Chains A and B, each alone.
Chain A
Amino acid sequence: MIVASLPKHSTKKIILSSLLVVTVFVLIFSPFFGSTPLALKDIFSATEGKRELDIFWQMRVPRVILAFCAGAIFSMSGMVFQAIFRNPLVSPFTLGVSAGASLGASIYIASGFSFYLLGLSGLSIFSLLGAGFSIILVWFLAQLPATRSMTKLLLAGVVISFFFMSLILFIQYLSGLYQSFRITRWLMGSIYVFGYEEVSQVFPLAIVGLLIIWYFAQELNLLTTGEEIALSRGVDVHGLVKVLFFLISLMIGSIVSVCGPVAFVGIMVPHMGRLMVGTDHRYLTMTTFLFGGIFLVVCDTLARTIIAPAEIPVGIITAILGGPFFFWLLFEQRKG
């Protein structure tokens, strides 16, 4: 595998603390960047009702928080799925939850509806329904005797995912140019919010998710070594996998309904985390949470500044920026 030498506990603590410092730094400074650059004095010496204040507090700050939560959720989810399935190629989208959400969103866009319900946009509601439907489907498949083995469950998820993606293509093919364009844009994933509605839903989920996953850090370590060893050391594997599976599906369904299936983060950030602190989930969970958050905030900041005043969907930036960074980490490790 890809790890040359693994750091000791003290090194890991230093890496984690520096990551925390970087997080604070990124969270404070990124709201100042965007198509309208803001300076400190714009915010602190501004009078009530000024345009800059609105941009800062109603657009940039919630957007940065949302990007952080989304990055953190995608990354943690990928980390957990990779541990459960013992497979480095698994992403949080592998089991079809995000494809379900995308299908819901595509149906909504193609239908041409537009409505709000209980503060949620119709788009969010439809994609949540799609996610819910696919969770129930995968869950049902997971109960079948034939999918008791992790590999079969994984394959079932992959098939559901492809099935939904085909339906999305079918809908796109049938719908008009404008709808088709909007579906494509949605699938790229982007972070765009106004106010704190979405943040208030996603932020608690990210924190609760972090705590639950951290709580199971030792169990995740053992799952990574294989189901039989985990059982022999005393882990109730089947109960644990059900809990984690449900938690991740819920988190992914909710976050995808807000910002679409942002690519790359969920599959690669966990590997970046492993390159930094190793596989021990007592350190890896927090590292992945912080680094995933920072990574998406930085990508999103670039997304809204590179071709300002226009914006690029963040899902395009993630792999363009993340790919080279991953290679750098990989080669840095090889040298050391």
Chain B
Amino acid sequence: MNVINIENLSFGYIPARAILHDVHLSIQEGEYITMIGPNGVGKSTLLKCLNRIIKGFQGSIKIFEKDIERYSQKELGQLIGYVPQVREEIFPFTVEEFVFMGRYPYRKPFSGTMARDRKIVEEILRKTELASLAYEPVNHLSGGEQQKVYLAAALAQQPKILLLDEPTAHLDPKHHAAIQNMVVRMAKEEGITILHVTHDLHYISQNSQKVVALKERRVFAVGAPSEVLNCEILQELYGTRFVRVFDPKLNKSFVIPEAEA
């Protein structure tokens, strides 16, 4: 089944300057999709159209074969989780409070802390290794820990689809790996369909099943990592030179940007 089906999608904050133009994309249930492309090419914009953070686009988006316009915002909240890059919280919540907010699409006004929601939040805090930090203000955590909190809150939505917008940018290699392993594990365990925007080519070739490359407002290439991640395509995509290197330990080769002499 098509979880996401995008047809003729165009959008621009100013009509004359389109950010996305005539984008077509369909995503199957349980797929792990990564989206690559130069900065400013509309990757984030595309994600934001999918959970209606952005309205007023042209074309059609179907989620589980139902037009996105026919969902309420709350229904979308039950289906789609969203993890942006961490920013500073103006008024700090505790980790537990922040993750608990992920339960919002299932909750009713005035309801206290329902046992079911509590249980789900506790389990997620445990799985994301945040249990010991539950009563810390989010602002007091390191960047890597904060990113885990954002991920945990999105998981508390128990989504069928998870949208990740460069969640590992700015993180050190250890936290980078920790977050990504967590995502991969969750995707497998819960059968979540994942759409992940990243610049980490190495990671993509290891974990994702399909790569979507955006260039100049539209889909430039779609395919398995082995097909898309070659020097010619990447060179054309990013406008910089790439080389293939061989890792004898993994017995695999990777494409990396060529160092300038």
- Is A221 in the interface zone, CB < 8 Å from B? yes
Note all chain B residues with C-beta closer than 8 A to A143.
none
The answer to whether B91 and A1 touch across the interface, beta carbons within 8 angstroms, is yes
Residues of A219-233 contacting chain B, CB below 8 A: 219, 221-222, 224-229, 231-233
Return the chain B residue nearest A87 by Cβ.
B90
Tell me the complex Cα distance, A225–B48, Å: 17
The answer to whether A232 and B81 touch across the interface, beta carbons within 8 angstroms, is yes
- Is A218 in the interface zone, CB < 8 Å from B? yes
The answer to whether A233 and B157 touch across the interface, beta carbons within 8 angstroms, is yes
Q: A233-B157, A236-B73 are in contact. Are A274 and B107 (CB under 8 A)?
A: no
Looking at B18-26, B98-106, B190-198, B205-213, the stretch in contact with chain A turns out to be B98-106
Return the chain B residue nearest A6 by Cβ.
B94
Smallest CB–CB gap between B192 and chain A, Å?
A: 15
- Is A328 in the interface zone, CB < 8 Å from B? no
Residues of A287-326 contacting chain B, CB below 8 A: none
The answer to whether B73 and A214 touch across the interface, beta carbons within 8 angstroms, is no
Smallest CB–CB gap between A316 and chain B, Å?
A: 29
The answer to whether B97 and A278 touch across the interface, beta carbons within 8 angstroms, is yes
Note all chain A residues with C-beta closer than 8 A to B154.
232
Tell me the complex Cα distance, A160–B31, Å: 52
Note all chain B residues with C-beta closer than 8 A to A83.
91
Binary flags per residue of B91-126, CB closer than 8 Å to A gives 1, else 0: 111100110011011010110110000000000000
The answer to whether A279 and B75 touch across the interface, beta carbons within 8 angstroms, is no
Tell me the complex Cα distance, A216–B109, Å: 7
Tell me the complex Cα distance, A268–B131, Å: 33
The residue from A9, A88, A224, A233 contacting B77, defined by CB atoms under 8 A apart: A233
Binary flags per residue of A193-226, CB closer than 8 Å to B gives 1, else 0: 0000000000000000000001111110110111
The answer to whether B137 and A5 touch across the interface, beta carbons within 8 angstroms, is yes
The answer to whether A232 and B135 touch across the interface, beta carbons within 8 angstroms, is no
The answer to whether A221 and B101 touch across the interface, beta carbons within 8 angstroms, is yes
Note all chain A residues with C-beta closer than 8 A to B102.
233
Tell me the complex Cα distance, A159–B112, Å: 40
- Is B53 in the interface zone, CB < 8 Å from A? yes
- Is A51 in the interface zone, CB < 8 Å from B? no
The answer to whether B52 and A231 touch across the interface, beta carbons within 8 angstroms, is yes
The residue from A87, A232, A278 contacting B93, defined by CB atoms under 8 A apart: A278
Residues of B60-110 contacting chain A, CB below 8 A: 72-78, 80-82, 84, 87, 89-94, 97-98, 101-102, 104-105, 107, 109-110
Interface size on B, residues (CB 8 A): 41
- Is B51 in the interface zone, CB < 8 Å from A? yes
Smallest CB–CB gap between A208 and chain B, Å?
A: 15
The residue from B52, B92, B107, B109 contacting A3, defined by CB atoms under 8 A apart: B92
Tell me the complex Cα distance, A87–B163, Å: 27
- Is B139 in the interface zone, CB < 8 Å from A? yes
The residue from B74, B89, B110 contacting A234, defined by CB atoms under 8 A apart: B74
The answer to whether B101 and A225 touch across the interface, beta carbons within 8 angstroms, is yes
The answer to whether A224 and B90 touch across the interface, beta carbons within 8 angstroms, is yes
Note all chain A residues with C-beta closer than 8 A to B72.
234, 236
Smallest CB–CB gap between A334 and chain B, Å?
A: 13
Q: A86-B90, A231-B51, A278-B97 are in contact. Are A3 and B137 (CB under 8 A)?
A: yes
Smallest CB–CB gap between A144 and chain B, Å?
A: 15
Return the chain A residue nearest B50 by Cβ.
A232
Tell me the complex Cα distance, A223–B77, Å: 15
The answer to whether A233 and B105 touch across the interface, beta carbons within 8 angstroms, is yes
- Is A41 in the interface zone, CB < 8 Å from B? no
Interface size on A, residues (CB 8 A): 36
The answer to whether A234 and B73 touch across the interface, beta carbons within 8 angstroms, is yes
Note all chain A residues with C-beta closer than 8 A to B112.
282
The answer to whether B82 and A232 touch across the interface, beta carbons within 8 angstroms, is yes
The answer to whether B137 and A6 touch across the interface, beta carbons within 8 angstroms, is yes
Smallest CB–CB gap between B150 and chain A, Å?
A: 8
- Is A110 in the interface zone, CB < 8 Å from B? no
- Is A335 in the interface zone, CB < 8 Å from B? no
The residue from A218, A227, A236, A274 contacting B101, defined by CB atoms under 8 A apart: A218
The answer to whether A235 and B104 touch across the interface, beta carbons within 8 angstroms, is yes
Note all chain B residues with C-beta closer than 8 A to A87.
90
Tell me the complex Cα distance, A88–B89, Å: 11
Return the chain B residue nearest A237 by Cβ.
B73
The answer to whether B91 and A88 touch across the interface, beta carbons within 8 angstroms, is yes
Note all chain B residues with C-beta closer than 8 A to A228.
48, 53, 82, 84
Note all chain B residues with C-beta closer than 8 A to A8.
135
Note all chain B residues with C-beta closer than 8 A to A222.
101, 104
Smallest CB–CB gap between A49 and chain B, Å?
A: 46
Note all chain B residues with C-beta closer than 8 A to A280.
93, 97
- Is A82 in the interface zone, CB < 8 Å from B? yes
Note all chain A residues with C-beta closer than 8 A to B157.
233-234
Smallest CB–CB gap between A149 and chain B, Å?
A: 11
Tell me the complex Cα distance, A218–B89, Å: 16
Note all chain A residues with C-beta closer than 8 A to B81.
232
In the complex, given contacts A219-B104, A225-B101, A233-B77, what are 7 additional A-B residue pairs having Cβ atoms less than 8 angstroms apart? Answer: A6-B94, A86-B90, A217-B109, A218-B109, A228-B84, A229-B84, A233-B153
Going nearest first, the 9 A-B pairs with the smallest beta carbon separation are: A234-B77, A232-B82, A234-B105, A234-B74, A279-B91, A86-B90, A233-B104, A231-B53, A6-B94
Residue pairs across A and B with Cβ atoms less than 8 A apart, 19 shown, are A1-B90, A1-B91, A1-B139, A3-B139, A6-B137, A86-B91, A218-B107, A221-B101, A222-B104, A224-B93, A225-B101, A232-B81, A233-B104, A233-B157, A234-B77, A234-B104, A235-B104, A279-B91, A282-B112
